[in-house]
Structure 1
Amino acid sequence: MRNAITAAINAEFGVSNPSALANHVMYCLPTGTMSGIAYAYINSWNSVYSNEWCNYVSGQMHEIGHKLNFAHSNEALGPYKDQTGMMGYSYGSDDGPLMCFNAAKSYQTGWYPTKTVTPVTSSCGDFDGKLFGVSDYGKAGGPGTTIIKINVSNGGPDFFINYNKQSGVNSGTKEAGNQVTIVSAAGEGTGYAESELVAKLIAGASYTISNFEGTGKDVTVTFEGLDTTVSPNPARVVISYDGMVCGSSTSSPITQSPTKSPITSAPVTGSPTKHPITPSPSKAPVNSAPVTPSPSKKPTDSPTRAPVTPPPTRAPVTPCWDKGATCDPNGVHNCCNGCQSNGKWAGTCK
C-alpha cells in the first residue's frame, strides 16, 4: 500500500517523489494494512502510521526522530524503556506527553549549547558546573550549557549528561523528572546509535564510571543540588577524574555519596505502548524507496495493531511488563502476571 500511495501522490502533483513537496511526509494507513503501529526510514522523508497513530504526538515525534537519524532509547529494563525522551515508548494520546529527547539525542540535534569533558587531560576539560534544563535554554542572560559529553577516546561509548527539568516543553517527561540523567551512546554523539540510560541522580547523589578508559582511575558525576545564585536555578553538577574536579586543574574534594548505581527513578505515569515491530533498516536515499521495511529493532513481545493498553489514558496508570521482561528491582514497574519463582523483586515476568 505504501508504494501505491507514493504513486498516487506523484501522479496527482506531477512529481517524481513526494519529497519534492515537503521535507517530511506522513502516510496514514487504514487499520489492518500494516504490522505494528508506525515506522520510518532513517534520514529519509517518509514515515508510516497505522490509523489513529497518525494523531498521537509521541508516535509522530518518535518517527520524525528516526528521520533525523535518531536510534532508539533503551534502559537496563529493556528496549524502548528509557522514558526520559521521545525515542523510547510511544503513548496513545493526541495531546501529549510534553517531552523532549534524552541527553544523547539532544546532543545529536545540535540545538543546545554543549560542553565536552575529556577526563584524561590535566584539567578534565573546561566545565563550570551549571547545567540548565532544555526548557530554560537561553534564559540565563544567554544560552547556558544544556548537555555535557564525557568523551571516551578509546572507541567506547561516550556519556551524555543533562538536567531533566520537568517544566515547559519537557513538563510531561515520564521518567526521572528534575533529576540529572546520564546516558551512554556510541557514534561520537553525531551518528545513528541506540542509547542506554545508565543513571538517574537526585540531589546529593553520584554515579561512578569505574576504570575509565582502562586507566584504573574513576570518573565520578555528582548532582550537588540546584544553584540558587543563578536564575532559573540550573543543576550544579561536579565531574571529577581520580579526585580532580574537571575544569579546576587542581585536586579538590567533592561531595561523597553512593556510587556505581542509578538512583531510583520517579514514578512513571501514562500507558506506554511498545513501538515499531519491524526489523532494522538500512539507510535509504531521499529520492528512492528503501528495500527494507522499517527503521528499528524488533522489541520483545511487540505490539499488535493496537496499543498494549487502551489509548489514550486520562488518569495515571502504572504500566506492567510482559512475559519475559526483567522484574524491576526498584519496584517502579510491576509484571503483568507477577514474577517467576525467584520472588517479587527478582527473576523475569510470568
Structure 2
Amino acid sequence: MKPSLFLSAWLLLVVSTTMIITTAKADHKIPTTFSAGQVASVGGLDCLGLVSDYDGASDGIIRLFLTCLTDEYQLLGVPQVDSNWIQGKIATGDLKSGETRLRFPLGTLVNDYMLDQEPILLNVESEVITTDYHGRVLQDQRQLTSARKIGTYSLAIIRVSSDGAGKRTTPTTATLQTEVLSTGDVNVRTQFSACSFNQFNLEPATGNGLDGGVATVATTVQPGSGNIDNGTSYQQFLAYINDILDQLFDQNGARNPADFVMLCLPPSTMSGTDAIGYFNSYLTVYNSNVCTYVSFGIHEIGHNLDLHHASDTLFTPRNNAEYADQVGYMGFSYGNIHAPQMCFNAAKSYQLGWYSSKTYTCTPSQCNPCQVDIGGIVSFDDANVDWVLMKIEDISSGEDYYLTYNNATGINQGTQEGANQVIINTQPREGLERDFSYLVGLLNAGEGETFTNFNGVPNGEISVEVLSIANGVASLQVSTAGGDCAVPTSGPTSGPTSGPTSMPTVGPEDPQVGGDPHFVTWTKEHYEFHGQCDLVMVKDPTFANATGLNVHIRTKLVRFWSYIKNVGIRIGNDVLEIQGNPEHSEAKYWINYEYQGELKTLGGFPISYHASSVSKSVYEIDLDSVYPNAKIVVKIYKEFVRVKLHGGKQAYGNTVGLLGDYETGKTFARDGVTVLNDFVQLGNEWQVLPGFEPKLFHALEKPQFPEKCLEPENPQGDRQRRLTESNISLEEAEAACASQLKDPLAIQDCIYDILATQDLDMVGAF
C-alpha cells in the first residue's frame, strides 16, 4: 500500500509556543499550544478522530485522511500520519473513526487548521467530555453514528451562494429539495427508507437558516486549487469547508442542527475526486451536481454508516477493482439523478443489520452441510420467505462469506451486476474503515463455487451449490471438505428453521452456557452474546410443583469478548451463587447470601461438590427426587463458569430465557411471541430486570437495568485479532479440543476460548 501522495508536499509549520491563529470567524480562536491534561474543545488537546475516504481517484491509490473533529465541530488536519499509519491503527483496534478520541502532546501547534504532531490515541470509555473551553455544555461526540443505522434522522444539505473564488453551487435550493429530499422519486431519502424497509429514514433537518432541509451559505474564503493531494491546497480546503459549516452551526447555537450533513460545493472545488465521506460520522462533501445523484449520496452516506468500498475479484471494469462490485451502492457511482435503483451487496447488507431477523448463519461440515432457501433482500417483508442473507464464518482467516439472491426487482431492479443470481461476497467480519468487501461468486441455478483454505485447513474447501432458483428464492447447499466426519450421515441435513445460529450438532449435547460465552439452546443450536450485565439463562415459576426455578448469569467484559464470572440459582426460597476465582484457588460461593455457608441442599434438592484441582471444581444440584436423572451442573475453571442443564421436557419444558423455547428452539423475546434471531438483541432482551426477577447475587455490579449491557469493542468477537496476537497456534487449539470433545460445534467453541485466553487447559472447562 502506497502512502498518501499529499504527504510529500507538506510545508514545515511555523513553530511558536504562544501564537494564536484566528479563523475567518473572529470569535473562534485556536491556541497553538496545548496544556497538559486539558480537556476542552478547540483550545484543548482532545478531539474526535475521523477517517475520511478520497473517492474516485483514477490512479488506484487508496487514500485515507485522519481529521481531528473538535467539540465545536471544527475539522483540523493531521498531516503527520498517512494511509498506512491509519490502516495499521484500525487493524490493531487502536483507532475507530467516530469513536476514538485523539490527544496531542504538549507543545502541538495549530497552523491554519493543521496540527503538527502525531496523536496519542485514547480509550474513549474512560473519557468524559462535558464542557468546552467557553464552559458551554457539549453534546456527546464520542460516538457520532455508532447506533445510527436504525432509526429516523435529520439530513441537512448546505449549498454555497458565493465564495472567495467567485463560484457558487449549481443546484438551487428547490432542486436539492426535489432531487434529494422529496418523497416522490428514487433519491437518497426514498431509497434508504426502501432498502431498510423503513428502519433507516432521513428527514429534512429543521433549524435556523434551513429551508426544507437546505441551507444557503456565502463565504469569502477561497477553496484553493482543489487538489487535496497537495498540502497547501488541502490546508486551504479545510479552512474553506470549516467556514461554510461554521456559518450554519453558529446560527444554531454553535451546534450541528442535523444528524447528517451533505455539503454541496461549487463545480470543481475538489479536483481528482467528486466526493468525500467521513466514516462513522455525519459529514459528506460533494462537487456541485453530483450531490443530486442518488448513487453518490447513498455511497458517501454509506461511509457515514461505516461501510467501505465494494470490490470485485471477478472483473475489473474501468481498471479499478476497488469499486468494481456493481451489485450495490458501495461500488461505482453513476451520473444519474434518479438511477440506478438498487441497494447493497450481501456483505454490506449484513453489516448494516437491517435484515438480522432473516439472516442465516451457517457453520457447515463435510458430513453436515447447510441446506437452506434464501430469498433476496427485496423479500425481507414477505412472510413466506424465512431467510434473505446467509453468513458463513471462517474462524481462522477472519474473513467471512456472505450470500444472498440478487433479485432484480422492485427496490433492487437497477442492480448493475449479478441480476437474478446468487452473489457471494467476502469481507473481514469487523467491516471497519479499512475493510473492503470482495465479490467472489455469481451463480445461476445448477452452478457451484469452491473456495480453498477454509478455516485454515490447507486442503480444506468450502463449496456453495445453487440447487435451484424459483419464485425469487434460491435453494443453497454449503459444505466443506478436508476433514473427517464425527458421525457419518447418508446425505445433507437442513439448517435450523429459526434461532440465531447454524447447523445441527452431531451427537447429543446438554443445553448450557459458558466460556466465551457460548450458548447451547434446547434444540442444540449454538450462539454467542458478548457483553457485560446480569442475564436470565432460564426461569420457570412452575418448576417442581410451583417451587420455582431461576438461573441468572453475570458476564464480565474483556475488551473484545466476555465470559461468565458468576451464576445465581434460586429454587424455592434458597439462593446459591457461585463465582470463579482468578486466583486459581477454590471457587467462591454464597448460600442464601452467606459466604461459604453450609452447603447441603437448595430448595430441598441435594448439592454435591468436587474439586479435581485448585483451578477446577464441579457443583451438582441433584433433581432426581422430582425429575429422574435430571441435575444442574456448574463447572468452574479458574475464573470461568459453565452451567449445564441435564434432563428432559419434564424438568425444563416450561422454561423461558436465553436458551429459547424447549419444543421449537425459537429464541423468543419476553413477550413469548416475537422471535429474536439477532443475538445482541436477544441478550439485551433477557437482561435481568430488578423488581421483575429476584435478586440472586449478593452484590450489585454495573450495569443494572435500565443501564444497557456493556458491549465490547467488537460485539461479534474479534477472531482475527485473537489469532494475530496468539502464542498458541490454531492447530494446537484444535488438537487439544478434539482430544476431549466430540461435537463439532463444541470443538469450535473450545478453540475460540483457548485462543481468547491463551490457555490450552481451557478445554477442561468443557
Do residues 2 (structure 1) and 250 (structure 2) align?
A: no
Distance apart, 1:192 and its partner CA: 5.7
Distance apart, 1:210 and its partner CA: 2.0
- The 5 Å alignment of 1:13-28 reads 13-16=252-255, 18=256, 21-28=257-264
Change beyond 3 A, Cα 1:10–1:28: same
Do residues 185 (structure 1) and 427 (structure 2) align?
A: yes
Do residues 94 (structure 1) and 94 (structure 2) align?
A: no
Higher-Rg member (1/2) = 2
Identity %: 38
Change beyond 3 A, Cα 1:107–1:61: same
Do residues 29 (structure 1) and 265 (structure 2) align?
A: yes
Q: 1:235 aligns with which of 453, 474, 487?
A: 474
Q: 1:51 aligns with which of 279, 283, 288?
A: 288
Question: What residue is the counterpart of 2:302 in the other structure?
Answer: 65
Residue 90 of structure 1 aligns to a residue whose secondary structure is: coil
Equivalent residues of 2:330, 2:344 under 8 A apart: yes
Q: 2:439 aligns with which of 193, 197, 222?
A: 197
Rounded Cα–Cα distance in structure 1 between residues aligned with 2:488 and 2:430: 25
Rounded Cα–Cα distance in structure 2 between residues aligned with 1:249 and 1:62: 47
Q: 1:176 aligns with which of 415, 418, 423?
A: 418
What one-letter code is carried by the residue in structure 2 that aligns with 1:50? N
Task: String of CA shifts for 1:185-225, please: whole Å, max 9, x gaps.
Answer: 11345776201101101111100012322332321101112
Q: Tell me, which stretches of 5 or more residues in structure 1 are unaligned?
A: 255-350
Task: String of CA shifts for 1:149-169, please: whole Å, max 9, x gaps.
Answer: 110001331111110000111
Rounded Cα–Cα distance in structure 2 between residues aligned with 1:251 and 1:188: 37
Equivalent residues of 1:117, 1:148 under 8 A apart: yes
Do residues 166 (structure 1) and 402 (structure 2) align?
A: no
Residue 415 of structure 2 aligns to a residue whose secondary structure is: coil
Task: String of CA shifts for 1:46-67, please: whole Å, max 9, x gaps.
Answer: 1011000110000000001000
Residue 407 of structure 2 aligns to a residue whose secondary structure is: coil
Q: Which TM-score applies when normalising by structure 1? A: 0.64
Rounded Cα–Cα distance in structure 2 between residues aligned with 1:192 and 1:103: 18
What one-letter code is carried by the residue in structure 1 that aligns with 2:479? S
Task: String of CA shifts for 1:30-74, please: whole Å, max 9, x gaps.
Answer: 012223111110000010110001100000000010000000001
Question: What residue is the counterpart of 1:84 in the other structure?
Answer: 327
Change beyond 3 A, Cα 1:203–1:121: closer
Question: What residue is the counterpart of 1:133 in the other structure?
Answer: 376
Change beyond 3 A, Cα 1:251–1:116: farther
Distance apart, 1:249 and its partner CA: 8.2
Query: Which structure is higher in strand share?
Result: 2
What one-letter code is carried by the residue in structure 1 that aligns with 2:453? N
Question: What residue is the counterpart of 1:277 in the other structure?
Answer: none
Task: String of CA shifts for 1:108-129, please: whole Å, max 9, x gaps.
Answer: 01111211112359745xx451
Distance apart, 1:172 and its partner CA: 0.2
Question: What residue is the counterpart of 2:277 in the other structure?
Answer: 40
Q: Which has the higher contact order (CA 8 A, sep 6+)?
A: 1
Rounded Cα–Cα distance in structure 1 between residues aligned with 2:300 and 2:353: 19
Rounded Cα–Cα distance in structure 2 between residues aligned with 1:38 and 1:191: 16
Q: 1:105 aligns with which of 345, 348, 351?
A: 348
Distance apart, 1:22 and its partner CA: 1.5
Equivalent residues of 1:132, 1:145 under 8 A apart: yes
Question: What residue is the counterpart of 1:11 in the other structure?
Answer: 250
Alignment RMSD: 2.5
Equivalent residues of 2:450, 2:463 under 8 A apart: yes
Distance apart, 1:252 and its partner CA: 2.3
Rounded Cα–Cα distance in structure 1 between residues aligned with 2:482 and 2:447: 16
Equivalent residues of 2:342, 2:413 under 8 A apart: yes
Distance apart, 1:243 and its partner CA: 9.4
What one-letter code is carried by the residue in structure 2 that aligns with 1:65? G
Equivalent residues of 1:243, 1:251 under 8 A apart: no
Rounded Cα–Cα distance in structure 2 between residues aligned with 1:189 and 1:178: 26
Rounded Cα–Cα distance in structure 2 between residues aligned with 1:91 and 1:171: 15
Do residues 117 (structure 1) and 362 (structure 2) align?
A: yes
Question: What residue is the counterpart of 2:450 in the other structure?
Answer: 208
Q: Paired residues, what number?
A: 242
Change beyond 3 A, Cα 1:251–1:49: farther
Residue 326 of structure 2 aligns to a residue whose secondary structure is: coil
Change beyond 3 A, Cα 1:128–1:122: closer
Equivalent residues of 2:366, 2:479 under 8 A apart: no
Do residues 217 (structure 1) and 460 (structure 2) align?
A: yes
Task: String of CA shifts for 1:86-108, please: whole Å, max 9, x gaps.
Answer: 00000000011011001100000
Distance apart, 1:12 and its partner CA: 1.9
